[in-house]
Each structure stands twice: as C-alpha cells, then as structure tokens.
Amino acid sequence: MNDVVLKVRDLNKSFDGVPAIQDISFDLFRAETLGIVGESGSGKTTLARCILRAIEPDSGHVEFLSDDGKVDLLKLRHKAMLPLRREMQMVFQDPYASLNPRMTVREIIEEPLVIHGVKSKAKRLERIREILDLVQLDHDSLYRFPHAFSGGQRQRIGIARALILRPKMVVCDETVSALDVSVQAQIINLLEDLQRELHLTYMFVAHDLAVVRHICDRVLVMHRGKVVESGTIDQVFDHPQQNYTKLLLSAIPSPDPDVRLNPLDRRTLGL
C-alpha cells in the first residue's frame, strides 16, 4: 500500500454558513479499504460527495492518482472531470431509490458505457455480461426491471453499474445499511472478492462499526464535521484515544446474550 490513490488536504464545506466538514485531511492508499464512521450528521456522506464533486467543496485540495498522473480534482472544470469519472465511482445507500424503475438492468448498467463513448453495442453487451458474472447475477436479469429484484439483488445491480467502467476507486456510501443482516454479509463478501479480483480501492462510509471492523484496513472517526481520530482498525477499535470514539464503540451490541452492556453516555465522556 505504498501508492497514494487519493490525497485530501484541508477540505471544507458549509451549508448556509453552517460547517458540514472542516479541515479534513487524509490519504487513501491503493487496494485498501478506508472506513469513514460517525453518527448521523457527522459529515461522512458530505465528505464523500465533495471528494467526487457531486457537491462542490468551499476550499481544499483533492489530489487523485489517475491513469494519466496526479491531478487536483478541485481545480478542474466539470467538463474536464468527465474522463476521470471512469476511475472514480460510487455505490449508493438505497438500492431502491438509486435505480431508475423505468430502465431495464441492461439499460442501467449500459448507460455509463454510452456516456463514456463505447459505441459498439456488441462490446457493451459483452462487458455487461462479464460484470453480471462478477456480481453473481444471471444473464436472464438483463431485460427485467428493478422492481422484480430483492434488495440484495438491486444492490448487486448498483455495484455492477459502478464497476462497468473498471474504476480504480469506489466510494461505498452506507452500501449495506438498507439490507437485511444476512444479505449484508453476502454483499460484504462480494465487495471483498471484487476488491481482490479487480484490485479496487474502497472508501467505505458506514455507521455500522461491526461491518467496518470486518471489511476495513483503516478508519477515520468523524464528529461534527471533523476527523477526531484515525488509525488502523486494531488501533482505533482496541485502543481508542478519544472520548467520542469510545462512545461509538460502546454502542456495538454483543452477540452474547449473557453479556450485560453498560454503554457510556455523553455526560460521562464530557461530550
């Protein structure tokens, strides 16, 4: 993990004068999974969308290691961002809302190829069939509509759409939070398999700390728009330094029904 795929420095964003993220800085290394955790409203999703410029940040630098070299994403015009979007994709939280209900699975997955100039219909179909195999969906799915699928299957379609352009970095924004627990495990295992096979780099936004501990290599803990703690999974989970991190970890349920939890509260930690 020597190559820095993404270098974020002093990133800021406010809405109506209220800071959403403040002075965020971190590195994302090739083929690693970086977890972004924190309670609702801590700025996790805003951070992810600012990096991809789905939301325009107020200030800062986002340096991305593209196939053509390093580039500061925030200095580019929107038109100049288009070629780079092949290398940066996002899997959204809600598999029901993120897919167009009037488009077939083929049309949904094919759309990025059309936008990015893959003109051959035969080549597009070949790529689509390949990606369906990777996300473990039958080819019969091609001409069905999203309503015909379960939540887990829809999320697989969303993952296929994100990977059809063969990106280098994928932002997973609460990718499994809307799914049943058993389906969550299937999608997490799928993401891990895809990472190994395609050498993907993940930014994994989540509030489920048990999932984060399982899939991530490092983690950033966000609170009120700031990074309050960062480190490897073992460092942060086994030896948290900040009171807010301890509060988050205290909320993880134990699978042992005989364990009596004594969760910390904000007053105890001075938050």
Instruction: Give the tens place of pLDDT for each residue, 249-268.
Output: 887 766 656 655 555 555 55
Tokens of residue 101, six digits: 């209900």
End-to-end CA distance of the chain: 35
CA distances from 166 to 12, 50, 194, 231 (A): 29, 21, 11, 29
Report whether 196 contacts 33 (CB < 8 A): no
CA dihedral sign, ordered 37, 41, 42, 46: positive
Residues in the chain, total = 271
User: Given this model, what pLDDT does residue 205 score?
Assistant: 95
What does the pLDDT look like over 160-172, one tens digit per residue? 999 999 999 999 9
Whether this prediction's pTM lies above 0.85 is answered by: yes
Domain 1-83+170-227 top-level CATH class: alpha beta
Residue 14 CB: number of other CB atoms within 10 A? 15
Residue 202 zone, left/alpha/beta (φ > 0; ψ -120 to 50; rest):
beta
Return all residues near 118 (Cβ < 8 A) that are at least 6 apart. 124, 127
What does the pLDDT look like over 21-71, one tens digit per residue? 999 999 999 999 999 999 889 999 999 999 999 999 999 999 999 988 999
Tokens of residue 246, six digits: 């301890």
What does the pLDDT look like over 101-117, one tens digit per residue? 999 999 999 999 999 98
* Res. 241 pLDDT band, cuts 50 70 90: very high
**What percentage of the chain reaches a pLDDT higher than 70?**
92
Domain boundaries, the chain: 1-83+170-227, 88-164
